[in-house]
Amino acid sequence: MTQAYNDNRVIRFDVSLGQRDRAIGILHSLLSAFDERGWQVKVEKPRYEKRLLNIVTVENVDLKFRLRERLIQQQRELSVKEKSDKANGKWIWKEKINVPSGKLQLFIDSLMPKGLKSVFEDKASGSLESQLGLFIEYLVASSRHAQHLAEERRISEAKWLAEQSRRLEFESAVKAEQQRIELLLDMASRWQRVNQCRTFISEVLSSSKNTEFDSEALQSWQKWSERVVDAIDPLKSIELTDQISGTELVSEEIFLRAISKLS
């Protein structure tokens, strides 16, 4: 028997009517053992699942478990027409059907440590009832395995985050060094232009062509042109002051990466 798919008031189990009382007895023994250990039990209906899930919380880890009866395939009785069709080589719809075997199974539907089984069932060597103690031990093992995996994930994620942080810090340092190098090259380029302008101003003032200009106008031009040159002179800029005062040597790796990124 199987309870309604949305009835989460009771523990889920999937057995035939003939195995109902035995299944209830097994679940009663399990729930009593869980209660003695302080393990909470709940039944959930996952959003995308058609069946209920039994969940027991062992050492703060939710583990899924279920009780079912093993099914076996059995040839069903065919109708006269089906027998005729089969004799003529035609395919028969559901020629074999699943029927209860009378053997019960307990599943731990959670990750297990390597070498430990997750299915317990009736065998010639022992009934399912005789294996309940081992089933409980394996629930504990599954819980601790889950905790171990969670700790491994936490460590792995921490390493990944640390590596990401180092990478971002490195890239930030490379970008800052690249900008500092580009500023140096820009100031050197401006300094060349400034010297060219000063040479040009000097040539204009010493040229014989000066006689063509009014002396007052020439002095006014000289003041204006020198003002322009002083304004763009990197040797007088706050940029140069800031760069010199703030210069710190970076690692060879950062420096070479910054150099390689120059256009």
Alpha carbons 139 and 12: distance in angstroms, whole number? 18
- Supply the pLDDT for residue 190: 94
Reported confidence tier of residue 2, pLDDT bands at 50, 70, 90: very low
- Supply the pLDDT for residue 6: 56
- Model confidence over 238-260: pLDDT tens digits? 999 888 888 888 999 999 999 99
Cβ pair 237, 194 in contact under 8 A: no
Reported confidence tier of residue 7, pLDDT bands at 50, 70, 90: low
Name the residue among 216, 212, 213 with its Cα closest to residue 224.
Answer: 216
- Model confidence over 41-72: pLDDT tens digits? 999 887 777 778 899 999 999 999 999 999 98
DSSP label of 78 = P
DSSP label of 46 = -
* pTM as predicted: 0.67
Phi (first) and psi of residue 4, to 5 degrees: -55, 145
Is the pLDDT confidence value at 195 over 90?
yes
- Model confidence over 76-122: pLDDT tens digits? 888 888 888 788 888 878 878 888 889 999 999 999 999 999 999 99
Alpha carbons 177 and 181: distance in angstroms, whole number? 6
Alpha carbons 26 and 106: distance in angstroms, whole number? 10
Is the pLDDT confidence value at 1 over 50?
no
- Supply the pLDDT for residue 248: 85
Contacts 24+ apart (CB under 8 A), 55-64: 56/139, 58/139, 58/140, 58/142, 58/143, 59/140, 59/143, 59/144, 59/147, 60/143, 61/142, 61/143, 61/146, 61/147, 63/108, 63/109, 63/110, 63/139, 63/142, 63/143, 63/146, 64/108, 64/109, 64/110
Is the pLDDT confidence value at 154 over 60?
yes
Alpha carbons 148 and 154: distance in angstroms, whole number? 10
What is the CA angle 20-14-44, rounded to 5?
Answer: 120
- Supply the pLDDT for residue 89: 82
Round the average pLDDT of the chain to a whole number and report it: 90
The 3-state DSSP class for residue 100 equals: strand
